[in-house]
Amino acid sequence: MRGDEAKQVCPQIQLVKVPVARGKADLNTYRNAGSEVVSVLARKGRCERASIDEVYLDLTDAAETMLAENPPESLEVIDEEAVKSHILGLNNEDGNDAKENVREWLCRSDADRRDKLLACGALIVAELRMQVLRETEFTCSAGVAHNKMLAKHASAMNKPAQQTVVPFSSVKGLLESLPIKKMKQLGGKLGTALQSDLGVNTVGDLLQFSEEKLQEHYGINTGTWLWNIARGISREEVQGRLLPKSHGSGKTFPGPRALKTISSVQHWLNELCEELGERLRSDLDQNKRIAHTLTLHARAYKSNDSDSHKKFPSKSCPLRYGTVKIQEDALNLFQAGLREYVGSYKSKTQGSQYNGWGITSLSVSASKIVAIPSGTSSIMKYFHGQYSSNSLSKQSQDNFIHDAAPLSPSGSESYSDLILTEPQIEFHGEETKIKYDVTSLDEQEDKKNIWKEQDPSCLSPQRMQNGIIQETPQSLPSGICLGGASGLEIISQSEQQREIPEEEPGVKYSVPSFDQVVQKRNTSKEKGATSILRFFKSCDPSCSSRKQEHVEAVQNVEAASSVGFQSTSSIRSDPNQVEPKEIVLEVTGTNSSRSSSAHIEQQREAWGYKVDEIDPSVVDELPPDIQEEVRAWIRPHKRPNVVKRGSSIAHYFLPAKNR
């Protein structure tokens, strides 16, 4: 119901509007409210912030621990919230108390192990949802299942403020009647194509088609994906990422409001860039992250032209910090795009004259955000027993940024002694690989076998999966302070506090990247014998099987698309008000998709591992005090694009042919 209709029917209604700042909707209240909820939900497992109000959680480990130590069947009281769960496929047979049925299901001692894990997940999620309510005053809904896809669908089934569990045996029934367009990722053109090409109307209809057939129609990747999702198989990992990967600010100018002059475009770009600049500043202050690319998007119409269908091209350039610089660069990007859009024709009409074009939307965004390396070299201290974190001085850092060229010999001695000599690293184009000198081939075989023991059903039985929590603020939140920063963030603050001028930090914040450190290491002669693998082996031979599993995961380079391990976050803020619209928070656990043992051989040769694709869970095996630092190493690191190409920013705004 629209607002004015509601007013008619219900004159006393209090309607809350989305806040407006700089002439446009301002969503910061919602972003901050989401962060608050995330900081609660991220406590119990790997957490992925999937959108402004949804998260996925991988609760596998927590559920396994509970199953081993405090299984539901051993409890005399089951959480009141947990017994309110909806269990798909659990029929409320004869007038039995529904809650009693749920309690029974949760505690079944003869259940499939997979369902026992789900039961543990349901208990954990119920507890998390109550914590969210207590600490933030937001409610949320959740889905608990064996992968992200199933949890996502389950989370939407009972809201608000309820949770739904998808037992293993209910997967088939859930999917076969699900309309194809309701499936995530199939709500658009692909779903429509499925309907018209193959007459598929429910997910179940997909089962009739072979994987090959689906690949013929939709390509190898999409074909396989379709074949899998029809069977409830999804190996998408829960990405350990609590922070967004980009920031943007935009506005539309529909119909008659289209912008027709450069100066009105400049005005709005200035507003948008101001907001973007503020958010970049907050990200830098709160999360110690720096964005490296500025992109401008616009939509335009051109009446009066042969190809009036042409789209306004998006343009990007290196991002220079400082609101004014961002504004200048954005305007230049716009003008570069406009020249391309209008083509090279004369009409250089002035002022309010008719230009032949109109801008119907403008947005600026900042991407390629990288964390300033947080730790110093505590891991080296750990390994070598002596290294002062101060030796990575500002000066050495500056040395890092002036040349991006590999193997530059400059300034290496000042810190060569603090470089770990162990893993040998090679550069192959863009990829950084670590070469271990590994154990024996026999051991490798063992690892492989362990891997194979996993359930082939691919429903990833060993990993409990997802829950989705969706959320409904029923009262206005009062902004309870959660103490935002996690342990990691505190570390980063204490170890590398730097002053950041209000305007123009610039490249100065470039700090040695992993690659660069590695590069220095390569130039030094030292050869070492320490590697993370070796560390694993040396620390506890008795639990080798688990470690080997991790090692195997490391081998499976192809499978896990590199997880960007953005450790912490938790932006503290106070969302003063959120309108009583429903907020959707999804919690999901995912299966461990260290999948596809198919491609091992390719990587077997030379035992080269791509740093970017190392399974972050190996880090869990390290001592807590160095985990975060290792994560920072494993985290995909873009080399700051210092200089290179035309040294001037103007390069980006010239016509392409002149480059």
| Of 219, 503, 249, 202, residue with least CA distance to 364 | 249
Give the position of tokens 């998006």: 314
Rounded to whole angstroms, the Cα distance separating 424 from 530 reads 10
Q: Are 577 and 28 in contact (CB under 8 A)?
A: no
Residue 159 CB, shortest distance to DNA, in Å, is 12
Q: Helix 220-229 crosses helix 211-218 at what angle (to 10 degrees)? A: 130
Phi, psi dihedral angles at 161 (to 5 degrees): 60, 40
Rounded to whole angstroms, the Cα distance separating 558 from 645 reads 32
Nearer to DNA, 249 or 496 (CB): 249
Nearer to DNA, 119 or 584 (CB): 584
DSSP 8-state class, residue 317? E
| Of 635, 100, 58, 128, residue with least CA distance to 369 | 635
Determine the residue type at 16: V
List the Cα angle 633/146/571 in 5-degree steps.
45
| Of 255, 273, 280, residue with least CA distance to 361 | 255
Give Cα 165 to chain centroid, integer Å.
24
Q: Find the helix or strand (DSSP H, E) in which 138 lies.
A: strand 138-144
Nearer to DNA, 496 or 569 (CB): 569
Nearer to DNA, 329 or 549 (CB): 329
Residue 618 CB, shortest distance to DNA, in Å, is 21
DSSP-assigned states of every residue in 224-273: HHHHHHTTT--------B-S-S-EEEEEE--GGG-B-SHHHHHHHHHHHH
Residue 612 CB, shortest distance to DNA, in Å, is 12
Nearer to DNA, 295 or 374 (CB): 295
Rounded to whole angstroms, the Cα distance separating 335 from 346 reads 15
Token pair belonging to 29:
């209240």
Q: Are 573 and 34 in contact (CB under 8 A)?
A: no
Rounded to whole angstroms, the Cα distance separating 113 from 110 reads 9
Query: What totals of helices (H) and strands (E) does the chain contain, helices first?
Result: 22, 15
In sequence order, which residues have a C-beta less than 8 Å from that of residue 96 and are 6 or more positions away?
none
Nearer to DNA, 264 or 361 (CB): 361
| Of 594, 604, 633, residue with least CA distance to 516 | 633
Residue 25 CB, shortest distance to DNA, in Å, is 4
Residue 316 CB, shortest distance to DNA, in Å, is 4
Residue 536 CB, shortest distance to DNA, in Å, is 28
Residue 474 CB, shortest distance to DNA, in Å, is 18
Total length of the chain: 659
Sign of CA dihedral 275, 277, 281, 284: positive
Determine the residue type at 573: S
Rounded to whole angstroms, the Cα distance separating 581 from 40 reads 21
Determine the residue type at 516: Q
| Of 35, 146, 136, 163, residue with least CA distance to 468 | 163
Half-sphere exposure of 374 (CA within 13 A, CB side): 29
Residue 243 CB, shortest distance to DNA, in Å, is 8
195-198-200-205 Cα dihedral, nearest 10 degrees: -170
Nearer to DNA, 408 or 414 (CB): 408
Give the active site residue among 5, 36, 48, 54: 54
Q: Within 10 A of 655 (CB to CB), how many other CB atoms are there?
A: 10
In sequence order, which residues have a C-beta less than 8 Å from that of residue 611 and are 6 or more positions away?
425, 431, 432, 433, 434, 514, 633, 634
Residue 652 CB, shortest distance to DNA, in Å, is 7
Nearer to DNA, 309 or 348 (CB): 309
In sequence order, which residues have a C-beta less than 8 Å from that of residue 213 and are 6 or more positions away?
223
Q: Are 392 and 517 in contact (CB under 8 A)?
A: no
Nearer to DNA, 254 or 624 (CB): 254
DSSP 8-state class, residue 311? P
Binding site for DNA (CB under 7 A): 2, 24-25, 27, 31, 51-54, 152, 183-191, 219, 221-222, 239, 244-252, 254, 272, 275, 293, 295, 311, 313-318, 361, 363, 365, 367, 561, 584, 638-639, 641, 652
Nearer to DNA, 329 or 629 (CB): 329
Nearer to DNA, 525 or 659 (CB): 659
Q: Are 419 and 381 in contact (CB under 8 A)?
A: no
Residue 614 CB, shortest distance to DNA, in Å, is 17
Residue 96 CB, shortest distance to DNA, in Å, is 34
Token pair belonging to 578:
């959120």
Residue 197 CB, shortest distance to DNA, in Å, is 13
Is 104 one of the catalytic residues?
no
Nearer to DNA, 84 or 320 (CB): 320
Strand-pair partners of 54: 51
Indicate which residues carry an active-site annotation.
Answer: 54
